[in-house]
A and B are shown apart, each in its own frame.
Chain A
């Protein structure tokens, strides 16, 4: 059997982060090949390069023995590569057949196309009425439309990006039957997921990415989910901070916090309970979309709740963000541009965004710009933010520099409690180390720090205690020292109830 697609030394760097670093792997015809990795490991960038959406900086691809350099998705499709995206691109007001015709280069007559759709959909066990409006279809049925759109091109390689995240368990079974049928006909499938059990059930080979690099290749059927998780997360979970540090009394406590989702796709928080002591760094791990955003907004005051959150025993749940800052609860959301900072505003104006209360930047509502500028310059200097000046727009900074500014802005306000979500997401190694050190220093000065992150290495490095957020539920917290990958994997629910854990995972990745 000749290799269908081989990828050699593919590298793609974005400012501040190397998304793919010398990635090589190959896919045989009729193989279901898993691409496995945590969020941010570089899976999406890799398949975007194969599908012609992103151009690699270096490296080569070979398809069917010929050099493969897709300049755009159309070229990739012409070469026999099709892709089903996690987010559908369908018009709800059009019928199934019309939607499919829209995506074709040279659509046949509608009647012929409808007949073909009906034929293909039945052949692959994906029944679909070509005349139905897409708006009336379920998520699973919409995915069928996308799959059939691909199958009509008779692809040699089908790429599926987190296909099961929108499906019910029954629909997953149907999808897998279809994919197996395709495989038996010789179509290769590149299957992207971080759901380990699914990959073990479906895939013949797996390439595991971590921080943009291929860390392992294996046959997933011969490995346990735990072994796969170890390869995905990496075995080296070392401790840099001595355990058993002196900690003060409980500062922030959360009891029985439940919150309905803010949006249709959000995760409800259910019965969250924890407490953080002065000087403690609590690491909250979990796959994105398991309630991280919701937990942060409940703690920052963007969303209010009943009497479930207490500072030194005082209920604070009904206070808004400004009042919470006043009493010392500060936070750093995950999304830098648009949430933690206003992209088109200068760093000075962004310093005001959260600093006005504690830094006395406004008096009777009137702003003290010289003081605000001084505060912004202090952040820039203390945290080594690389920027031409404090007047530069936030969006002109690199991700790492803006993140240092955003974290620095909160740290310099001497919070009693600091809650950060993904503090080093998409940040280069040097900036990430600086941010982690700043959080540790803050804790050493007596602040209670909560770090929500998907980066388990990071959490093991800086946390005193660890808890896992899974499907909107928080596990009991345990001392971080001495935690093994096995235990973390079990806490994250990785091996036993994946289908619940990951329902909304990928939305956060693409957000």
Chain B
């Protein structure tokens, strides 16, 4: 019989090392997978992790993509991580992302064809409010009626997708678009665009906001009483009430904040890389951000690194499909392995394995 026994004081070294070790193990296991598929494992790993950044032929295109993809992931994951730490599970960031994009785009389009410099800031506010409002639905239902925020927020994703389609086909459709679905292009119109701030880097306002969010989240969690209360509520709810934390207020803050950040991510995407509201505007950032949040073990700096790593495997994965003909499913399995190894090693750093009958120490 194998038993898991909680370590009283988990080693800080191991906690820091597990992500690195997980990446290495993923490379090994992924290499074996690719070898079984008849590809050169070393070339495949190199294509995924190295070529997007340093290959002369591809780097010019894929290097900026790194920040473009990592930006929304980090921004959303930072918001989610606050709730996750407090034991409040917002699974519907994808929906809040859509609502942020729709609300922000609607404000931008309302002023069309004005090119006033005040439009973009207004769009940012509208985007944040849109995501916030969508996240407040599960928050209010949870506070008033005790509903499960996981289910409500998740189901609202599908509502948001329908809303997005109706917007792309109806209210926000480009009147000059020849009847095709989709709004006017926001990124090609001065005043509503979210341009690349430094050419060739992929850095746009959304990426900058993500970096700022990382810093603010770090300060919040380590220096501010609200961050302390979030951690306390997640670890020991009864102690949190004893400490004077209002659980309902915390639900509203955590869901609202994560919704607002997801909404911002959507707004920056629709006004930048995506350019317009279309039926299939959302591409799963809201869900992938959940993985990013856990991969970064809910720590702001960890999320920053995890977001970059996740973006890298996406870009490198596409490159490997394109260059080596690896099936998309193999790439997804590879990304899945990363989470698997991370969570597995996480367990080993927090628990030791005991074989009952004879004491044996865990492999970690």
- A-side interface residues toward B, CB under 8 Å? 300-302, 320-323, 325, 333, 335, 337-345, 349, 352-354, 356, 362, 365-367, 369, 392-393, 395-396
Q: Which of B67-75, B143-151, B175-183, B226-234 lies on the face that meets chain A?
A: B226-234
Which chain A residue shows the least CB distance to B244?
Answer: A322
A366 touches B223 (CB 8 A): yes
Asked if A341 meets B244 with Cβ closer than 8 Å, knowing A352-B228, A356-B225, the reply is: no
Cα separation A349 to B238 with both chains bound (whole Å): 16
B224 touches A354 (CB 8 A): no
Cα separation A352 to B245 with both chains bound (whole Å): 13
A321 touches B241 (CB 8 A): yes
Cross-chain pairs A/B with CB under 8 angstroms, 10 sampled: A302-B242, A321-B243, A339-B236, A342-B232, A352-B228, A354-B242, A362-B225, A366-B223, A366-B225, A396-B8
Asked if A325 meets B244 with Cβ closer than 8 Å, knowing A352-B228, A392-B9, the reply is: yes
Which chain B residue shows the least CB distance to A325?
Answer: B244
Name the contact of B239 in the complex, choosing from A301, A341, A396 (C-beta under 8 A): A341
A345 touches B242 (CB 8 A): no
How many Å from the CB of A80 to the closest CB on chain B?
25
Asked if A353 meets B232 with Cβ closer than 8 Å, knowing A325-B244, A340-B242, A396-B8, the reply is: yes
CB interface residues, B 200-243, toward A, < 8 Å: 223-226, 228, 231-232, 235-236, 238-243
Name the contact of A353 in the complex, choosing from B8, B224, B239, B246 (C-beta under 8 A): B239
Cα separation A340 to B225 with both chains bound (whole Å): 18
- B-side interface residues toward A, CB under 8 Å? 8-9, 223-226, 228, 231-232, 235-236, 238-244, 246
B235 touches A345 (CB 8 A): yes
Which chain B residue shows the least CB distance to A393?
Answer: B9
Name the contact of A365 in the complex, choosing from B9, B225, B243, B246 (C-beta under 8 A): B225
B235 touches A393 (CB 8 A): no
B225 touches A338 (CB 8 A): no
The main secondary structure of chain B at its interface with chain A is helix
Identify the 3 closest CB pairs spanning chains A and B, nearest first: A322-B244, A342-B236, A321-B244
A345 touches B238 (CB 8 A): no
Asked if A354 meets B228 with Cβ closer than 8 Å, knowing A395-B8, A396-B9, the reply is: no
Q: Give chain A residues whose Cβ lies under 8 Å from the Cβ of B232.
A: 342, 345, 349, 353
Asked if A338 meets B236 with Cβ closer than 8 Å, knowing A352-B228, A365-B224, the reply is: yes
Cα separation A395 to B10 with both chains bound (whole Å): 12
Q: Give chain B residues whose Cβ lies under 8 Å from the Cβ of A367.
A: 223-225, 228
How many Å from the CB of A266 to the closest CB on chain B?
14
Cα separation A366 to B225 with both chains bound (whole Å): 6
A349 touches B244 (CB 8 A): no
* 20 other A-B residue contacts (CB within 8 Å) besides A365-B224, A367-B228: A321-B243, A321-B244, A335-B238, A338-B236, A338-B239, A339-B238, A339-B239, A341-B236, A342-B235, A342-B239, A342-B240, A345-B232, A349-B231, A352-B228, A353-B242, A353-B243, A365-B226, A366-B224, A367-B224, A396-B8
Cα separation A488 to B39 with both chains bound (whole Å): 83
Q: Give chain A residues whose Cβ lies under 8 Å from the Cβ of B236.
A: 337-339, 341-345
Q: Give chain B residues whose Cβ lies under 8 Å from the Cβ of A320.
A: 244, 246
Q: Give chain A residues whose Cβ lies under 8 Å from the Cβ of B243.
A: 321-322, 353-354
Asked if A345 meets B231 with Cβ closer than 8 Å, knowing A320-B246, A321-B242, the reply is: yes
B231 touches A302 (CB 8 A): no
Name the contact of A349 in the complex, choosing from B8, B228, B240 (C-beta under 8 A): B228
Cα separation A362 to B235 with both chains bound (whole Å): 21
Q: Give chain B residues whose Cβ lies under 8 Å from the Cβ of A321.
A: 241-244
How many Å from the CB of A343 to the closest CB on chain B?
6
Asked if A333 meets B223 with Cβ closer than 8 Å, knowing A342-B232, A343-B235, A353-B232, the reply is: no
